[in-house]
Structures are given as C-alpha cells and as structure tokens.
Amino acid sequence: MSFFYRFLVLLWRIVALSSGTLFSFEERKLAIFGPGPDRPRMGQNPIQRFLLNIAGDLKPRDLPRVVFANPTYSCMDNRMTKGIRIQPMSLFDTHCHLDVSAFDADREAVLGRARQLGVRDILVPAIQRSGWAFLLDLCRREADLYPALGLHPMALEQHQPEVDLAALEQALAEHRVAGIGEIGLDYFLPELDRERQLALFHAQLQIAREARLPVILHVRKAHDEVLACLRRLRPGGGFVHAFNGSLEQARRYIELGFALGFGGMITYAGSTRLRALARDLPLEHLVLETDAPDMTVAAHRGERNSPEYLPDCLAALAEIKGEPPERIAAITTQNARRVLGLEAPIP
C-alpha cells in the first residue's frame, strides 16, 4: 500500500473514530497507531505529528506503526487488528425480559447483536411462576444472563399466592439465582387490589431477606409505600426499575442499598423531568436498563425494545451527565455487579 493511500485512509479512520461515542480515547489511539518497537521520534515525521494533533496530546512513546480498526458503530466485537485487541465497553442491562414470547422468533440473534455492541451481562427478571422454568433454562444456556425469580404485581390475577410463594422458596433451594424480582407495588392501575399486592410484596421481601438476595422493584405511584416496606423488612438492597420518583425518595432508596435504573425514557427529549432527575442523582448509584421488550428508545419508537438498544441509553445518560460514555459504562456496570454481588468481569 502506498504511503499516500495509507495516509488518506488513516485520515478517514480518524474522523470516523473521533466521532464515535462507544470507543474510549485509549481505544481510538490503539486503532490509529497500535503498539510496536518501530516508533518514530516526534520530530522526525511531520505527518504523524499532524495526526497526533487530531488524535490528541500523545507523547512520543505512544507513536507506533499504523494499524486499522473498523470504526463503525456496529463493530463492537473484540476485534483483532495486527495483534491488538480492541475491547468494547462492558455494559450491564439490569432489566430485560428476554424470556418472553416477543423474542421467541429471534432470541439468539438479538443476543448476538447485543453482545457485539458491548452488552456483556443481562439480568432477566421473572413475571409469574409459569415462566420460571424457561427463564432458568435460558440463563443456564447463556452464561451472561442472570435469572431473578418473583411475582410481578401487574400479573396479580395470574398468581396463586400460597402455591407460588412456596414454589419460590423451593426454586431458591434448587437453583442459583441473582435476585428476587420483578416484585413491588403498582398503584397506577386502579384494578389491581392494593391489599393483595401489599401482602404478596411483603412475603417476597421476607423470602429475599432470608435468602440474602437483592430485589428488583417495580414501583408505580407507590414509592413511599415501598420505602416503608423496605425500612421494616430490610432486604439486601437491589434495583429500583425505571425509577421516576423524587430526589428525596431516591436518597432514601440509596440509603437502603438500592441502585436506581434508567432506560429508554431518558432518550426522549421530552422527558425533561426524568432527564433532570438522572442529571442530579449521583452516578455511583445509577444503573442502565432496557426493560425490553417494553419502553423502547426514541430511535426505535413504536418498535419492540431490545437489549441491543442499551447503548442508546448509555449515550443519553452520558449526554445528560456531560461525561464520557466510557466512564458512564464502567461505573454503571460496576454498580450493577456490586448490587448483585458478582465477581469482577474477566477483561
């Protein structure tokens, strides 16, 4: 390849890489220059000195031979380029109903695309007992899926509390799960009996406390009631899915060991209150989620939501916080793993 042609291609790569949001500065540097012993001195190559001014303020030791990496948004696989592994960011989707029938036709393909985009871990919360067996089997087959078992308040009419709660305790004795969920209170829908919801919620919190497992909370128009239950029963923390309460309620959840989930709704410019809430809350207590197949991102309005759209949520939170996406990804993933008590991921 002639030097001039390589120079033109390199310029194009730099523009593409510098405009991407999912490559860190270090990854862009590796993609442009790569490592190697044949490093020219800064003063010896004016073209590379010019390229460095575009790429950033690097020192002479950072100048290696030129290598190339695919700069497109969809190239988030672990790509080997002349011996250099370009690592994608590691994202954790803390709420995704990947087990439901909406994914039956293309579940493996969805997972494959999500992994290519850096979604390395997914928490799959249950809805009702009839779905537990498939959910557990799915998570056994896919090492990066983590199951949570529970009885969703919106499926109240499908639950048989005595039978289901006994089955939950039995399932916890027989299977390794990451948490209890999706559980909680939904006071938004008037047809859902509040007393029955409350009794079911209390019972599941007690089971979670005895099992020492985090809980995945569904809360609509009931934050104060849920917080009161949590203060009384003190389970071992968890996630508040799709948090949309107040800053004061957020503070109280955080004090009880909970992380707050933000997903597709923050990608909508019109979600001003929710975006302000995400801006004002400490990043150290936030996690990312999709709630797929529901609550899709703005770019896919009206479509089925998917874990492969989690990078959209990352980009939105980075914009709201005014921070690099790679920092948001690292901290939210760390938060998720901390709440679930998981070991550090393998690089």
pLDDT confidence bin for 43, thresholds 50/70/90: very low
- Alpha carbon of 9 to those of 1, 6, 13, 277: distances in Å? 11, 5, 6, 43
Q: Which of 13-27, 252-266, 299-313 has the lowest mean pLDDT?
A: 13-27
* Domains: count for the chain: 2
Domain stops at, among 42, 75, 108: 75
Q: Are residues 96 and 66 in the same domain?
A: no
Residue 243 lies in a domain: yes
Q: Are residues 162 and 232 in the same domain?
A: yes
Residue 81 lies in a domain: no
Q: Are residues 247 and 99 in the same domain?
A: yes
Q: Are residues 206 and 64 in the same domain?
A: no
Q: Are residues 113 and 197 in the same domain?
A: yes
* pTM: predicted TM-score of the whole model, two decimal places: 0.76
Residue 186 lies in a domain: yes
Residue 86 lies in a domain: no
Q: Are residues 167 and 135 in the same domain?
A: yes
Q: Are residues 207 and 281 in the same domain?
A: yes
Q: What pLDDT, in 10s, does the model give residues 155-209?
A: 999 999 999 999 999 999 999 999 999 999 999 999 999 999 999 999 999 999 9
pLDDT of residue 51: 43
DSSP conformation class of 257? T
Name, in order, each residue with C-beta under 8 angstroms of 287's C-beta and a sequence gap of 6 or more: 92, 94, 239, 259, 260, 261, 262, 332, 335, 336, 339
Q: Are residues 62 and 200 in the same domain?
A: no
Residue 239 lies in a domain: yes
Helices (H) and strands (E) in the chain, counts: 12, 10
Range of the domain at 22: 3-75
Mean per-residue pLDDT, 289-302 = 98
Q: Are residues 212 and 63 in the same domain?
A: no
